[in-house]
Structure 1
Amino acid sequence: MASGVQVLRWEGARFLRMRLVLSTLSGRSLRITGIRGQELEPGLRDFEASFIRLMDKLTNGSRIEINETGTTLYYQPGLLRGGAVEHDCHPHRSIGYYLEALLCLAPFCKSPLKAILKGVTNDQKDPSVDTLKVTALPLMKRFGIDGEDLDLKIVRRGMPPAGGGEIIFSCPVRRFLKPIQLIDSGKIKRIRGVAYSARVSPQMVNRIVDSARSILNKFLPDIYIYTDHMKGANSGKSPGFGLSLVAETTNGTFLSAELVSNPSGQGLPVLPEDLGMNCAKLLLEEIYRGGCVDSVNQSLALLFMALGQQDVSKVQMGPLSPYTIEFLRHLKSFFHVMFKIEIQPKEERKGGEKVLMTCIGVGFSNINKVVT
């Protein structure tokens, strides 16, 4: 750990989660000031405080200081411990918000992580647990994070606003990450998905499936969308429904899209037919964007490339999202890693604009892992 390194300083509430994750991995302390200092309700929000508590549970020896107004945060990271962790996620953000951070941190814990997260499983703000299961886990396997210990199980589904869902995420630890070369995404060979509902009529999921297939069947014959209608205690505390779709290519790339109904009592009611069709169109748009990593997992791929062994990694991606661009800036601040970005010539493209991301890994070693 870089204990003697100068404290990194930031201002404002943006990218708080990103900064805490990179601080923990790099061992560099940070101080964030002016957190919503100009707003009527200054300081950290409840969901951010909940995330900080999760970081504290994941580590041993972290030092966290927050001033009385919540506008200044000092974080000195401890060692990632892993093991069994249970956390009640704040309902303002879904479990996916917390799970995305665990995906980044779990491989570098001292012992294999088994995290039980409770709260909202599917909402309109964050990637759902369904999408992360079918896209992020296969991506982690590319970097050598694989085995039966890598698993994500949805025990109960929880829709907003009240939640009530529960998932179990298990992840093995690794001492090093493999460098990767993903420069050809291949052709789409099949589409899979899950239409889910909780505390509404079971017919909702069938209507979603029929409307999504009415679009996708024009492009591909191999389509199967599962239906998941939760009942009783497994259906959470609020009604709702949604659809998560993933397209798999011949080279093992997974491209995803998802839509969720409006929370109970918020906004106009959403017809399942409209949701299914719109989600299918979003998937086709993601396929057009293309690349070997979908837009949801761009930052996860770039992080593992940067932390890999001191060898060249290359990944072709679709257009970089604004979040990904900011993530690249933060990687430079915390790890001094810079990527070579090459835009694919127009005549060589299939679909939208593609960029080839290249870097040499920093040779990050999991010093927490017990050598056996």
Structure 2
Amino acid sequence: MVHAPLVYTGNADFRIRLVLATLAGRTIKIEKIRSDSMEPGLKDYEVSFLRLLESITNGTVIEISYTGTTIIYKPGLIVNGTVTHNCPLSRGVGYFLEPILLLAPFGKAALNLTMKGITSNGFDLGVDTIRTALFPVYNKFGIMRQELRVIKRGSPPLGGGEINIFLPHVLLQPQTLHAAVKSPPISKIRGVAFSTRVSPASVNRIIDGARSVLAVTGCETYIYSEVARGEDSGMSPGFGVSLVAETKTGWCFTAEDVGGAGEIPEDVGERAARALLEEVSMGGMVSRCQAKAVLILMVLGKEDVGRVLVGRDVVDESIVRLLRDIKLMWGTEVRIKPYDSSTDDDLDEQGPEQYVISVKGVGFVNASKKIA
């Protein structure tokens, strides 16, 4: 049965809608992309992402209107393979890598992807956060053995970074997730502080700033230092830090920060540490940057009900838009109900308001995987 194209309006959730369309095999049409803007149509990084999708799929057809304000996307099969992609300097490598992580496990073969550009810019997910905070989430769904290697670090505005990511695990469908119990306390805090083309002392100052804030947790804290030198340091000076708070059950919360012009390293470390404590204080099992991937993988699971506990502030407008897109794409609905804290042992402690999200998987099966 041939479905009519699903029609979306505007540039919001551009990457997510293309990912959902690719997984569902549905043709979509996106209209009025920045039609009221002084610079209407697709941006360079959105066109670059479309080209990346073409590189890892076979049979994909993309039609872009003359003004760039309308596209029609007909997805093909995910084949993966060995790909090199040059990312524009307007966005970080994480902008392109984050959605690819949702597609690669459902391809025909392993994905060996080399990407060049800005490795951390402060608003797209940095490569360290992807490695230390997103990979553990994918492990919960049975997607294993991911490898991300930072060959060169690249800071804005000139970039010059390079990473290689190897995603060998191809599976038919993700495992069902059952994580609707009270989130365990944080057991340890890890992190990576990095610098490019600045004094190596900057990294130690970032670590000192972060430790001064995290001392109140009483948790074991270890922040690695990585000073990029010579050709490995990209083309622009910069520094930043990625922090991860881990629980004994393998869930983690994350925050990161990158220094801007004229900022001192201590402030960057303190900001990242406070952002991490804020993520932890929300409760639940996932950070805001992990929530969309968790929901999509839960929807793709077998026809069983999966559950996950999230903090109230994690369910924001972008999550609501995602749930609407999921219903439009697969016709499945998600149930969100308040978490009953009366089942907890420590009734004296008033924790954050949390929700249990229940999802019945659509029984997605990877049609691209080679038949053994």
Normalization by structure 1: what TM-score?
0.95
Distance in structure 2 (CA, Å) of the matches to 1:90 and 1:104? 21
Q: Note if 1:297 corresponds to 2:302.
A: no
Contact 2:179 2:307 in 1 (8 A): yes
Contact 1:122 1:129 in 2 (8 A): yes
Partner of 2:334: 339
SS in 2 for 1:75: strand
Partner of 1:265: none
SS in 1 for 2:216: coil
Partner of 1:165: 161
Partner of 1:204: 202
Contact 1:190 1:220 in 2 (8 A): no
SS in 1 for 2:239: strand
Partner of 1:310: 303
Contact 1:96 1:127 in 2 (8 A): yes
Partner of 1:179: 176
What is the CA distance between 1:151 and its match in structure 2?
Answer: 1.1
The structure 2 residue matched to 1:329, chosen from 311, 324, 343, is 324
Contact 2:187 2:219 in 1 (8 A): no
What is the CA distance between 1:189 and its match in structure 2?
Answer: 0.5
SS in 1 for 2:203: helix
Distance in structure 2 (CA, Å) of the matches to 1:216 and 1:92? 33
Written as runs of structure 1 = structure 2, the 5 A alignment for 1:217-236 is 217-236=215-234
SS in 2 for 1:19: helix
What is the CA distance between 1:173 and its match in structure 2?
Answer: 0.7
Distance in structure 2 (CA, Å) of the matches to 1:32 and 1:215? 45
Distance in structure 2 (CA, Å) of the matches to 1:321 and 1:104? 21
Contact 1:159 1:236 in 2 (8 A): yes
What is the CA distance between 1:353 and its match in structure 2?
Answer: 2.0
What is the CA distance between 1:257 and its match in structure 2?
Answer: 0.7
Partner of 2:363: 363
SS in 1 for 2:110: strand
Q: Note if 1:103 corresponds to 2:101.
A: yes
What is the CA distance between 1:322 and its match in structure 2?
Answer: 2.5
Q: Note if 1:279 corresponds to 2:266.
A: no
Q: Note if 1:9 corresponds to 2:4.
A: no
Gaps of 5+ in 1: 263-267
SS in 1 for 2:217: coil
The 3 A distance-change label for structure 1 pair 314 and 221 is closer
Distance in structure 2 (CA, Å) of the matches to 1:33 and 1:253? 38
Identity value in percent: 41
SS in 1 for 2:129: helix
The 3 A distance-change label for structure 1 pair 162 and 220 is same
What is the CA distance between 1:346 and its match in structure 2?
Answer: 6.4
The structure 2 residue matched to 1:270, chosen from 263, 268, 272, is 263
Gaps of 5+ in 2: none
Normalization by structure 2: what TM-score?
0.95
User: Residue 163 of structure 2 aligns to which amino acid in structure 1?
Assistant: I
SS in 1 for 2:296: helix
Distance in structure 2 (CA, Å) of the matches to 1:346 and 1:311? 25
Partner of 2:71: 73
SS in 2 for 1:93: coil
SS in 1 for 2:333: coil
Partner of 2:87: 89
The 3 A distance-change label for structure 1 pair 216 and 346 is same
Count of aligned positions: 363
